[in-house]
C-alpha cells in the first residue's frame, strides 16, 4: 500500500491527490430474493432502481494541504472518501494518489478479536503498508497514544467499545502516512482523548501530511483545513475558503429546514405568528427561526455593556432570545474570530457537557469568558442556536464586534501570562 494509484494521470509534483470527474451509481433493489428457491420461484424480484450518488466530482489536493468535504447526509462525500481508499471504485473518471495512505474510516477493520491489542497493532499496521521494522519503531508510541496501558496484551474481544476505537485510531494516525483520510471519527473516547486526537491531526499536518476530512463539525474543518468542498446531490456545489463556503452551506440548510417546517405546519393546518422566522436574511444571519437571538452583547465585570477590553479581562456575553413555542433540543454555540477571519476559539453547550437548552417565550442567557487572553486587535463573535446534528435555529455571524487594547506590542494571537526571571 506504499502507493495507491489508479489510471496514471499527469499531475504536477506538488499534487498529492487528483480526482477527475468521478461518477458512482448503486443498484437499489425493490424486492431481492435471497435464497435459490426465491430466485427460481420469484424471478421478477430482481427489479432495482439505479441511484447515481456522484455525478462528476473533481478536485486536487496539494501536498501538505488539508481539505474538508461537507454536505448533508447522502450527498456523496463519504462515497468519495471510500473511493480514495479503494474500498470501492468509480464507474468513470480517474483518481490518482501519491504516497502511503492511512484511512480513519472503518476503524478497527481487520482486527482479530482473539489476538491481543499489541498483535493487532502489527497486523493492522501491515494493512497500511508498514514493514515489521517500521512497526517496531512506532509501536510504543501507538500504545502510549491509545492509553491502554496494561490492557494492551489482553485479547481485543475483552475491550470495551471505547478501548477498541482508541486503539484503532492510534494505529491509523501513527503510521507516518503521506495522505490521511478521515471520516467522522473525531468523536472517539472522552473529551480529553478527542482533544488529543485533534491536536495530533494538527501536528501531522504541520509535518507535511495531506489530509482529506469528512465531517459535520464545520468548526473543526475551519481550524484544520485550507479549503472546503460542498457536495450537493453528487456534484461540487461550491469550494473555497472554509468560513465562506460554510456560510453558504448553513444558509442553504436553514432555508431548506424552514421550507420543510412550513410545509409540515401547513399540512397540520397551522399558521405561524409573525416574527417566528429569523428576520435578518443576509450573509451573516440564517436559520429556521424556531429560536431567535434578538440581541447579543458583551459586558465587563461590572455588568456594563462594553466593546473594548484589555488582555486578561473577563467578559460576559449576554444573549437575549425569544421562541414562539418551546424548543427543547437547543445547543448554544460561540466562536471567536480575529478581524482577518482567523478562527481562534469555539465551543458550545454540548462540547462543555452542559446539555441541551430549552427556549420558551423570551429570556436571556450568559456565557462568561473568564480570560480574554488575546493580543491587541479587532475581533468578532459568532453566536448560534442549533440542533445537536448542526441544524440551525439561528446562526448569527459577527453578532458582536469588540477590540482588545494594550500598551504592549505583543506578537501572535494570544497574550499568555508570563514572568521574566534572571
What is the mean predicted confidence (pLDDT) over 185-204? Answer: 74
The residue among 238, 268, 287 that closes a domain is: 238
Out of 41-50, 93-102, 206-215, pick the least confident. Answer: 41-50
Do 114 and 224 share a structural domain?
Answer: yes
2 found inside a domain: no
> What's the predicted TM-score (pTM) here?
0.71
Do 66 and 165 share a structural domain?
Answer: yes
128 found inside a domain: yes
What integer pLDDT is reported at residue 366 of this predicted model?
A: 94
C-alpha triplet 160, 187, 334: angle, nearest 5°: 145
Do 276 and 232 share a structural domain?
Answer: no
The residue among 213, 238, 263 that closes a domain is: 238
**Cα gap 391→279, rounded to integer Å:** 18
63 found inside a domain: yes
Do 251 and 231 share a structural domain?
Answer: no
Q: Convert the pLDDT of each residue in 16-41 to its tens digit.
A: 999 999 999 988 776 655 566 666 66
Do 200 and 282 share a structural domain?
Answer: no
What is the mean predicted confidence (pLDDT) over 173-191? Answer: 76
**Cα gap 102→100, rounded to integer Å:** 7
CB contact at 8 A, 173 and 101: no
What integer pLDDT is reported at residue 33 of this predicted model?
A: 55
Q: How many CB atoms sit inside 10 A of residue 118's CB?
A: 15
- CATH number of domain containing 25: 3.40.50.300
User: Into how many domains does the chain fold?
Assistant: 2
Do 348 and 288 share a structural domain?
Answer: yes
Do 390 and 253 share a structural domain?
Answer: yes
**Cα gap 112→157, rounded to integer Å:** 8
Do 300 and 166 share a structural domain?
Answer: no
Do 221 and 192 share a structural domain?
Answer: yes
Q: How many CB atoms sit inside 10 A of residue 253's CB?
A: 20
Is 32 or 346 the better-scoring residue by pLDDT?
346
Per the structure, the complete domain to which residue 399 belongs is given by 242-404
The answer, yes or no, to whether residue 46 has pLDDT greater than 80, is: no
The residue among 238, 263, 285 that closes a domain is: 238
Do 214 and 115 share a structural domain?
Answer: yes
Do 118 and 249 share a structural domain?
Answer: no
Instruction: Look at residues 236, 234, 238, 229 and name the one whose alpha carbon lies nearest to residue 53.
Output: 234
Cell of 411: 506578537
8 found inside a domain: no
What integer pLDDT is reported at residue 6 of this predicted model?
A: 36
The answer, yes or no, to whether residue 122 has pLDDT greater than 50, is: yes
Do 177 and 269 share a structural domain?
Answer: no
What integer pLDDT is reported at residue 279 of this predicted model?
A: 42
Amino acid at each position: 500500500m506504499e502507493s495507491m494509484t489508479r489510471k496514471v494521470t499527469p499531475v504536477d509534483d506538488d499534487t498529492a491527490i487528483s480526482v477527475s470527474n468521478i461518477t458512482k451509481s448503486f443498484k437499489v433493489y425493490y424486492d431481492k430474493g435471497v435464497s435459490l428457491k426465491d430466485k427460481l420461484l420469484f424471478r421478477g424480484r430482481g427489479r432495482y432502481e439505479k441511484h447515481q450518488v456522484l455525478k462528476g466530482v473533481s478536485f486536487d489536493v496539494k501536498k501538505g494541504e488539508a481539505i474538508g468535504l461537507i454536505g448533508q447526509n447522502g450527498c456523496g462525500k463519504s462515497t468519495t472518501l471510500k473511493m480514495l481508499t479503494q474500498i470501492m471504485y468509480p464507474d468513470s473518471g480517474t483518481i490518482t494518489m501519491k504516497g502511503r495512505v492511512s484511512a480513519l474510516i472503518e476503524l478497527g477493520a481487520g482486527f482479530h478479536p482473539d489476538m491481543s491489542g499489541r498483535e493487532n497493532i502489527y497486523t493492522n499496521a501491515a494493512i497500511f503498508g508498514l514493514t515489521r521494522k517500521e512497526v517496531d519503531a512506532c509501536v510504543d508510541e501507538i500504545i502510549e497514544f491509545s492509553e491502554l496501558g496494561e490492557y494492551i496484551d489482553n485479547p481485543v474481544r475483552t475491550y470495551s467499545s471505547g478501548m477498541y476505537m482508541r486503539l484503532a485510531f492510534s494505529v491509523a494516525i501513527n503510521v507516518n502516512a503521506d495522505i490521511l483520510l478521515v471520516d467522522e471519527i473525531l468523536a472517539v473516547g472522552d473529551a480529553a482523548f478527542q482533544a488529543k486526537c485533534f491536536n495530533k491531526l494538527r501536528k501531522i499536518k504541520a509535518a507535511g501530511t495531506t489530509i482529506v476530512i469528512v465531517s459535520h463539525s464545520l468548526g473543526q474543518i475551519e481550524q484544520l483545513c485550507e479549503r472546503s468542498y460542498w457536495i450537493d446531490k453528487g456534484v461540487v456545489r461550491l469550494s473555497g475558503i472554509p468560513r465562506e463556503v460554510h456560510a453558504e452551506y448553513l444558509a442553504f440548510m436553514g432555508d431548506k429546514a424552514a421550507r420543510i417546517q412550513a410545509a409540515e405546519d401547513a399540512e397540520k393546518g397551522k399558521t405561524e405568528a409573525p416574527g417566528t422566522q429569523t428576520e435578518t436574511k443576509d450573509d451573516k444571519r440564517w436559520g429556521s427561526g424556531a429560536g431567535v437571538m434578538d440581541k447579543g452583547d458583551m459586558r465587563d465585570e461590572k455588568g456594563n455593556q462594553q466593546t473594548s477590553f484589555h488582555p486578561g479581562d473577563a467578559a460576559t456575553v449576554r444573549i437575549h432570545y425569544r421562541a414562539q413555542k418551546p424548543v427543547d433540543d437547543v445547543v448554544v454555540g460561540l466562536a471567536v474570530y480575529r478581524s482577518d477571519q482567523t478562527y481562534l476559539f469555539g465551543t458550545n453547550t454540548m462540547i462543555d457537557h452542559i446539555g441541551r437548552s430549552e427556549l420558551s417565550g423570551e429570556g436571556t442567557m450568559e456565557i462568561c469568558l473568564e480570560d480574554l487572553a488575546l493580543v491587541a486587535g479587532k475581533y468578532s463573535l459568532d453566536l448560534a442556536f442549533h440542533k445537536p446534528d448542526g441544524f440551525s435555529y439561528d446562526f448569527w455571524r459577527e453578532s458582536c464586534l469588540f477590540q482588545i487594547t494594550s500598551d504592549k506590542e505583543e506578537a501572535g494571537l494570544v497574550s499568555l501570562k508570563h514572568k521574566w526571571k534572571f
